[in-house]
A and B are shown apart, each in its own frame.
Chain A
Amino acid sequence: MKALGLLGRVYLAALFVFIFAPIAASVVFSFNSDRFPTLPLGSFTTDWYARAFSRPEVWEAIGNSLAVAAVTAVLATFIGFATAYTDFRYGFRFKQAYLALALLPPTLPLVILGLAMLAWLSRIGLSGTLSGIVIAHVVLASPFAMAICRLRLSQMDPALEAAAWNLGSSPWGAMRHVILPFCAPALVSALCLTAAVSFDEFIVAWFVSGLNRTVPVMILEILQGNVDPQINAIGTVVFLTSMSLVIAAQFLIFRRRSNG
C-alpha cells in the first residue's frame, strides 16, 4: 500500500482528466473561432452561441425539453416516493418482484426501450407526441427518485410514524405532518435529478418523438448531417443546465444529512 503515494495521485488525476476532458473541451471549443479546432486554438468568439440561439427551432426544442423535463420530474418523483414509502413501511408477498420492477428500467439498453416504446406507443396512438416522451422518461427516471427517497427514509426512525398514529393521527395525517416534511429535501433533490435525466435523454426520445424534437434529439440530428461547432454552444448550455440540477440535488441531500 505504501507504493500508492504521489504516483497514485498522479494516476488518479490522469483518470479524472480523461473522464472530464470531453466536457471541458466542449466548453472551450464553443468559444473558439475555428470550425475544426486544433492546437493552437483560434481566437475567442461568442459567434457560435449567437448563431445557434438565433434559430427558432432551437428555442422550440428548448421549450419542448423544459416542458417534458418538468412534467417528468413531477410524475417520476411522485411514483418514486410512493414506491420508496411502500418499501420502507410494508412487507408483502412478491416484494422482491415489486422492487425489481422499481429498479430495473435503467439497466435495460435505451435502444431496446426505445423500440419497445415506439411499437407500443404507436399502438395506443401516442407516438410522435410530447406525452409519449414524458411516458418513457418517467419509466426511466422514477427509479432514481425512488433511490433518493428511500435513502432519506432510511435515516428516519420508523417509530416516529407509529408514534403519530398512537397519538391519534390518521395515516394521512402522519404522512402530511411527519413523513413528508422529513422527506422534503429528498423530494426537491429527486425533482432536480429526474429533470436532469429527462433533459439529457435522447435515444428513447429520438425513437418516439417524431417532429416534436427535444434539445438532445436536435443535437443528434445535427450530428448526423454537417458537423457544426454550434453543437458545442448548445451542448454547453445543456451541460450547465443538467450540472446545476445535479449539483443542487447533491447539495440538498448532503446539507440535510449533516444536520438531520
Chain B
Amino acid sequence: MTLLRRPDPYPLLWRLPLLLWQGAFFVIPLLFMAAMSFWLVRNYRMEPAFVFDNWARMLGRGAFWDAYWITLWRAALAGVIATLVAFPASLVLAFRLSEPARRFALLCLVVPFFTSFLVRAYAWQVILAESGPVNAALGGIGLGPYSMLNSGFGAMVGYLTLVLPLVVIFQTWSLAAIDKSLIEAAGNLGAAPARVLWSVILPAARTGLVLGALFAFIMTFGDFVSPFYLGGSKPPTLTILIIDTTKSGQQWPRAAVVALTMIATLFAVATAALKAAYGRRG
C-alpha cells in the first residue's frame, strides 16, 4: 500500500507560492547579477561572457577601496554608537516602566520603520541647515552657526535615525527577558550596581545586544539616503558607487561587482555576529 502512495498535493500547494516567487524574483535575480559581473559591456550593451575585466577594474581602483573602507568604518561606528546610545534607554524601558507603558513605547518604535526615511532625511536637512532651527536656537545663546550637513556628522544623524528604533527594540526585548530574581540576588549578595550591570545584566542580554548592533551595521552599510542627502556623498559610499555606476553609462556588470563584495562582507560580519550572539560563552 505505502509503496505506491500518491503524493498529497495539499501540503505541496502551501509550500509552492514562496518557492516559486522568491525563487523567480529573489534567488534568480541575485544569481543573474553574479553571472553578469563576468559579462562584457560593448557599445553600451551587455554581452554574455566569462571574463574577469569588471572585477579587475573595480578592485584595482583606489576609489573603490576608499569607498569600501569608509562604508565599513561608518557601519561599524554606527553599530557601536547606536548600541551605546540605545542601552540606557533600553534599561529604563525594561526595568523602570510598567508592562503597558513598555508595550506602548515599543509599538511607537515600530512606526518609524514603516514611514518614509526619505522624508525624514529631508526634514533633517532643513533642521540642521546653517540657517535652520537648530542653529537659530544655538545662535540665541551665542553659539554657532555650525555647519552640520554634508559631513560625517550629518550622515551619522541619518544613520542613527534609521537604526535606533530597531536597536532599542532588540535590547529591550532581551533585557526584559532577564529573570529579575537574578538581579535581586546579586544585589542582596552585596554586588555594586556597576558590578550587577557588568556580571549579570550584560551577559544575560548578550543576544539582543549583539543582534541590535548587527542590524545597525547591516542597515548603515546598505543605506544610501544618509550619505547622499546628509553626508554630501563625499567620500562616496559603496551604495552611492553602485547607483552612480548603474545610472550613468550602463556599467551594470561593474555595479554588480560592488554589490557582490557588499554581500560577501555582510555575510562575513553576520556570521561572526551570530556566533557571538548565540555561541557558547568563551
Contact = CB atoms under 8 A, between A and B. Distances in A.
Interface of A: 1-5, 8-9, 11-12, 15-16, 18-23, 25-26, 29, 36-40, 75, 78-79, 82-83, 85-86, 89-90, 92, 98, 101-102, 105, 107-113, 115-121, 123, 135-136, 138-139, 142, 146, 171-172, 193, 196-197, 200, 202-203, 207, 216, 219-220, 223, 227, 231-232, 235, 238-239, 242-243, 245-247, 250
B129 interface: yes
Contacts of A15: 85-86, 89, 164, 168
A4 B118 contact: no
A119 B256 contact: yes
A22 B10 contact: no
B260 to A, nearest CB: 9
Given A4-B96, A23-B112, A172-B10, 6 more contacts: A26-B119, A37-B132, A38-B129, A83-B18, A108-B222, A203-B224
Contact of A79 (B21, B110, B118, B168): B21
Contacts of B118: 202, 216, 219-220, 223, 235
A9 B101 CA distance: 12
Interface stretch (B53-61, B120-128, B202-210): B120-128
A196 B19 contact: no
Contacts of A116: 29-30, 32-33, 259
Contacts of B193: 1-3
A102 B246 CA distance: 28
18 contacts: A23-B115, A36-B126, A36-B132, A82-B13, A83-B17, A85-B14, A86-B14, A98-B18, A107-B218, A111-B242, A111-B243, A112-B259, A118-B252, A135-B25, A202-B118, A220-B118, A232-B122, A235-B123
Contacts of A101: 18-19, 22-23, 26-27
Given A18-B164, A116-B30, A200-B114, A1 B95 contact: yes
